[in-house]
A = this chain, B = another copy of it.
Amino acid sequence: MGMRRPGTPTLEEVAAHAGVGRGTVSRVINNAAGVKDSTRRIVQQSIEALGYVPNLAARSLAARRTDAVTLVLTEPDWRQFAEPFFSEIVRSLGDALADTGMQLMLTLVHSDTERKRFLEYARGGRVDGVLLMSVHAGDRLPDMLAEARLPTVMLGRRSGDEYVSYVDADNVGGARSAVSHLLSRGRRTIATITGPLDLYAAQCRLRGYQDALTSAGLSSVESLVAESDFTEDSGRRAMAELLERHPEIDGVLAASDTTAAGALQALRAAGRRVPEDVSVIGFDDFALAQHTEPRLTTVRQPLEEMGRAMIRLLLEDMEEPSMAYRHVILRTQLVTRDSA
Rounded to whole angstroms, the CA-CA distance of A113 and B97 in the bound complex is 11
Known contacts A82-B87, A124-B53; is A2 also within 8 Å of B129 by CB?
yes
Q: Give the number of copies in the complex.
A: 2
Q: A87-B82, A103-B117, A129-B2 are in contact. Are A61 and B55 (CB under 8 A)?
A: yes
Complex CA distance for A333 and B139, rounded to whole angstroms: 41
Given A82-B83, A84-B79, A87-B82, A65 contacting B107 (CB threshold 8 A):
no
| A5-B149, A64-B2, A117-B103 given; A108·B124 CB < 8 A | no
Are the CB atoms of B61 and A90 closer together than 8 Å? Answer: no
In the complex, A65→B291 CA distance in Å? 47
A10 CB to nearest B CB, Å:
12
Residues of B within 8 A of A65 (CB): 1-3
CB neighbours of A88 from chain B (8 A): 78
- A190 at the B interface (CB under 8 A): no
Interface of A is mostly: mixed
Neighbour of A57 across the interface among B66, B82, B107, B114, CB < 8 A: B66
Picked from B64, B87, B110, B319, the residue with its CB within 8 Å of the CB of A94 is B110
Restricting to A55-85, which residues have a CB under 8 Å from any CB of B? 55-61, 64-66, 68, 70, 78-79, 81-84
Give 7 pairs: A residue, B residue, CB < 8 Å, sorted on A.
A3-B64, A53-B120, A79-B84, A82-B82, A82-B84, A106-B106, A106-B107
- Could you tell me which A residues sit within 8 Å of B by CB distance? 1-5, 53-61, 64-66, 68, 70, 78-79, 81-84, 86-88, 90-91, 94, 98, 101, 103-108, 110-111, 113-114, 117-118, 120-121, 123-129, 148-151, 233, 292, 318-319
